[in-house]
């Protein structure tokens, strides 16, 4: 950018020109001196014109063309993958372990074993038995009644083979009061069978005095154990002998809306 000029620059310029003119006049001929004189006069005149017109105006920088700001293309926020509701949220026991299940049997020399094997989903618990007449064997587990109170009944799956005998599902109080449901001759099933029973279907079996005291009505808050039993009841068509039953996916039946 060119800075503004004042009258002082003009006078300085004139003095310089005159000094140069004087020195040159002694070294060159008269004709050349006259030419320089004319040039000096011209320059002086130019300086006076400039002074009269005022100071030089600063040269303006060329206007800057602003760089357009690039528009940001919005990136859509990815939506989380929707996971379907779990079908196992109502599980009471997945039957994936035998540790919490204990075995009991009669005193009639019946045999009873339980082990973990491939089940309906993942693993299941196999109950193998060899029952004497009127014999029985069962698996038992302690349970928090709060788990049962979320539902209106119990569902489980099973399959089995061997001599047909009775399957029992029992809920037991701390004072041994026993409520149960039974299915005679049901142990033989080539394919998985789904069994559903509402709490209202449980009947008090014994002791008789306790059943009378509780009015034969199941109180879930008093339940402390859940049991699955295989029993032989000849009067109901069972045949004592050996066989096996796999039980898997013990679930709660949710209340209907």
Q: Within this chain, do residues 49 and 101 fall inside the same structural domain, yes or no?
A: no
Q: Within this chain, do residues 31 and 99 fall inside the same structural domain, yes or no?
A: no
**What's the whole-number mean pLDDT along residues 144-149?**
95
The answer to whether 188 and 162 are in contact (CB under 8 A) is yes
pLDDT value, residue 255: 84
Q: Is residue 71 part of a domain?
A: no
- Looking at per-residue pLDDT, the higher value among 218 and 76 belongs to 218
Q: Write out the E strands in the chain.
A: 91-93, 102-105, 111-118, 123-130, 136-142, 153-162, 166-173, 178-183, 189-198, 203-206, 223-231, 242-253
d(CA 60, CA 76): 47
Q: Within this chain, do residues 167 and 232 fall inside the same structural domain, yes or no?
A: yes
Cβ-proximal residues to 246 (8 Å cutoff; 6+ apart), any chain? 117, 119, 120, 124, 125, 126, 127, 158, 159, 160
Q: Within this chain, do residues 168 and 248 fall inside the same structural domain, yes or no?
A: yes
pLDDT value, residue 47: 52
In tens, the pLDDT along 6-60 reads: 444 444 344 444 554 455 444 445 554 454 454 554 544 555 444 444 544 444 5
In tens, the pLDDT along 69-108 reads: 333 334 343 333 333 333 446 999 999 999 999 999 999 9
d(CA 47, CA 193): 117
Is 36 strand, coil or helix?
Answer: helix
Q: Is residue 122 part of a domain?
A: yes
Which CATH number do you get for residue 105?
2.60.120.430
- Looking at per-residue pLDDT, the higher value among 68 and 155 belongs to 155
Q: Range of 19's domain?
A: 7-53
Q: Is residue 79 part of a domain?
A: no
Q: Which of 50, 51, 41 is nearest to 21 (CA)?
A: 41
Q: How many residues does the chain have?
A: 257
239 Cα distance to chain centroid = 51
Q: Is residue 67 part of a domain?
A: no
pLDDT value, residue 18: 53
Q: Within this chain, do residues 29 and 129 fall inside the same structural domain, yes or no?
A: no
**What's the whole-number mean pLDDT along residues 118-135?**
97
Q: Within this chain, do residues 186 and 107 fall inside the same structural domain, yes or no?
A: yes
Q: Is residue 169 part of a domain?
A: yes
Mean pLDDT in the chain? 78
Q: Within this chain, do residues 240 and 152 fall inside the same structural domain, yes or no?
A: yes
pLDDT value, residue 34: 54
Q: Is residue 171 part of a domain?
A: yes
Question: Structurally, how many domains does the chain consist of?
Answer: 2
Assign 3-state DSSP to the chain and report helix, strand, coil percentages, each to 5.
25, 35, 40
């Amino acid at each position: 950018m060119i800075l503004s000029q004042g009258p002082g620059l003009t006078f300085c310029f004139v003095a310089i020109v005159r000094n140069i003119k004087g020195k040159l006049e002694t070294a060159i001929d008269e004709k050349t001196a006259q030419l320089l004189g004319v040039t000096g006069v011209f320059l002086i005149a130019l300086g006076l014109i400039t002074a009269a017109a005022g100071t030089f105006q600063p040269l303006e920088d060329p206007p800057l063309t602003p760089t357009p700001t690039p528009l940001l293309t919005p990136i859509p926020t990815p939506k989380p993958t929707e996971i379907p509701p779990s079908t196992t949220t109502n599980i009471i026991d997945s039957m994936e372990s035998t540790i919490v299940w204990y075995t009991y049997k009669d005193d009639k020399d019946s045999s009873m074993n339980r082990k973990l094997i491939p089940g309906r989903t993942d693993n299941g618990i196999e109950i193998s038995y060899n029952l004497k007449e009127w014999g029985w064997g069962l698996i038992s587990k302690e349970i928090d009644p709060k788990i049962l109170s979320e539902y209106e009944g119990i569902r489980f799956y099973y399959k089995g083979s061997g001599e047909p005998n009775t399957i029992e599902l029992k809920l037991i109080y701390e004072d041994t009061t026993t409520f149960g449901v039974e299915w005679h001759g049901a142990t033989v099933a080539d394919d998985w069978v789904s069994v559903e029973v509402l709490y209202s279907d449980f009947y008090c079996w014994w002791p008789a005095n306790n059943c009378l005291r509780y009015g034969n009505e199941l109180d879930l808050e008093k339940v402390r154990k859940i049991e699955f039993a295989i029993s032989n009841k000849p009067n109901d068509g069972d045949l004592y002998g050996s066989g096996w039953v796999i039980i898997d996916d013990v679930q709660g039946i949710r209340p209907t809306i």
